[in-house]
């Protein structure tokens, strides 16, 4: 039997196949261009789909039970909590530049993580224990920071700080807010506190359980002149974004499309739009707080918990924490759409 390789025969055999594969690739690229959709790469769940043009998925880090990943501008790394799906325990973690994960401190079912952008200190809220804990930047221990948040049912969740030059209500630059969702018999609270001084929190807003506009406030974002709070409320399709105004009073942001279960919020520093994670279905949304326009940015997450979205100060990168999917995603503007500060 002749085992010699006939190059001419092989070329004639594979040429139609190569043409077919090339056509398929071109059609796939054309479909992507026409729809503006980009699917996740082969190393991440392919159900995650970028809907808003101008973004790419730049990383997807596998992490067990992650909550509240937030960016630290001091070292350029992400810090997140591990909240076990069942039982107690958990910890505060850092994602290193090479993608590895370092455990920093233990915790008890952390609800969210917040980073003070001025010095890199990390704060973890725990809704079961009812406290907030601080880990100084570079340290591997933690101290109790806020412990007197409520009587009988304190459930601290999302945190944010007023940026330098803040000109809005309620706060001065450098002061922070914390929302308390009052999960069981307690009321819903909004607290003012200091990232620089332990305790000394001040209650600035409260309503009794099932009375008043708040039902389950879980995250807060503070822009140059406005404060926003997201609240799933509990009933189908009635999630609300509130603006916290002088008084203080809560003003619902009227959206053109209902947001069923908003669970996290941050602000696009370039446009002033709100980036909101919705749990039903799990997706990332863009919301114009003036017009109320709502559009999908990324869809297909497995399951989103509280404070599950953050951004870099320049707005070029968005971080979404998928608690059910055990994944932390980074979405980045394509290079030609990136914004860069002019140091001059």
Render pLDDT for 262-305 as a digit per residue (tens, 0 to 9).
999 999 999 999 999 999 999 999 999 999 999 999 999 999 99
Q: Which residue has the higher pLDDT, 44 or 316?
A: 316
Q: Residue 292 region, left (φ>0) first, then alpha (ψ -120 to 50), else beta?
A: left
Q: Using 50, 70 and 90 to split pLDDT, how confident is the model at 209?
A: low
* Fold type of domain 44-337: Neuraminidase (2.120.10)
Helix residue spans in 147-284 (DSSP H): none
Render pLDDT for 166-182 as a digit per residue (tens, 0 to 9).
999 999 999 999 999 87
Tell me, what's the pLDDT at 148? Answer: 83
CA triplet 129, 326, 102: central angle to 5 degrees? 70
Q: Does the pLDDT value for residue 336 go beyond 80?
A: no
Q: Does the pLDDT value for residue 122 go beyond 60?
A: yes
Q: Using 50, 70 and 90 to split pLDDT, how confident is the model at 238?
A: confident
Spell out the domain ranges in the chain: 44-337
Helix residue spans in the chain (DSSP H): 7-35
Read off the tokens for 286: 């863009």
Render pLDDT for 3-13 as a digit per residue (tens, 0 to 9).
333 333 333 33
Cβ neighbours around 41 below 10 Å, total: 11
Greatest CA separation found in the chain? 93
Tell me, what's the pLDDT at 30? Answer: 31
Render pLDDT for 20-78 as a digit per residue (tens, 0 to 9).
333 444 334 333 332 333 333 334 454 899 999 999 999 999 999 999 999 999 999 99
Structure pTM?
A: 0.84
Read off the tokens for 93: 């973690």
């Amino acid at each position: 039997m002749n085992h010699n390789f006939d190059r001419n025969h092989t070329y004639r055999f594979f040429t139609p196949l190569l043409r077919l594969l090339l056509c398929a690739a071109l059609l796939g690229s054309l479909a992507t261009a026409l729809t503006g959709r980009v699917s996740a790469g082969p190393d991440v769940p392919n159900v995650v789909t970028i809907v808003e043009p101008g973004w790419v998925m730049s990383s997807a880090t596998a992490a067990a039970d992650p909550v509240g990943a937030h960016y630290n501008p001091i070292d350029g790394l992400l810090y997140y909590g591990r909240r076990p799906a069942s039982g107690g325990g958990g910890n505060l973690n850092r994602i290193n530049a090479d993608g590895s994960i370092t455990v920093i401190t233990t915790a008890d079912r952390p609800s969210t993580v917040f980073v003070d952008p001025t010095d890199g200190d990390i704060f973890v809220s725990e809704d079961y224990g009812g406290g907030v804990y601080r880990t100084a930047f570079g340290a591997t221990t933690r101290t109790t920071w806020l412990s007197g948040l409520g009587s009988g049912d304190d459930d601290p969740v999302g945190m944010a700080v007023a940026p330098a030059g803040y000109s809005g209500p309620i706060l001065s630059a450098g002061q922070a807010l914390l929302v308390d969702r009052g999960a069981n018999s307690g009321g819903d609270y909004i607290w003012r506190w200091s990232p620089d001084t332990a305790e000394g929190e001040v209650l600035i807003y409260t309503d009794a359980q099932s009375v008043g506009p708040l039902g389950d406030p879980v995250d807060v974002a503070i822009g140059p002149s406005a404060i926003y709070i997201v609240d799933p409320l509990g009933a189908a399709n009635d999630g609300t974004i509130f603006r916290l105004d002088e008084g203080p009073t809560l003003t619902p942001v009227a959206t053109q499309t209902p947001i069923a279960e908003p669970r996290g919020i941050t602000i696009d520093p370039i446009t002033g739009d709100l980036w909101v994670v919705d749990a039903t279905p799990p997706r990332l949304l863009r919301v114009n707080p003036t017009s109320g326009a709502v559009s999908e940015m990324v869809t297909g997450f497995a399951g989103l918990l509280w404070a599950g979205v953050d951004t870099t100060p320049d707005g070029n990168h968005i971080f979404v924490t998928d608690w059910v999917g055990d994944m932390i995603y980074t979405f980045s503007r394509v290079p030609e759409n990136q914004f860069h500060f002019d140091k001059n």
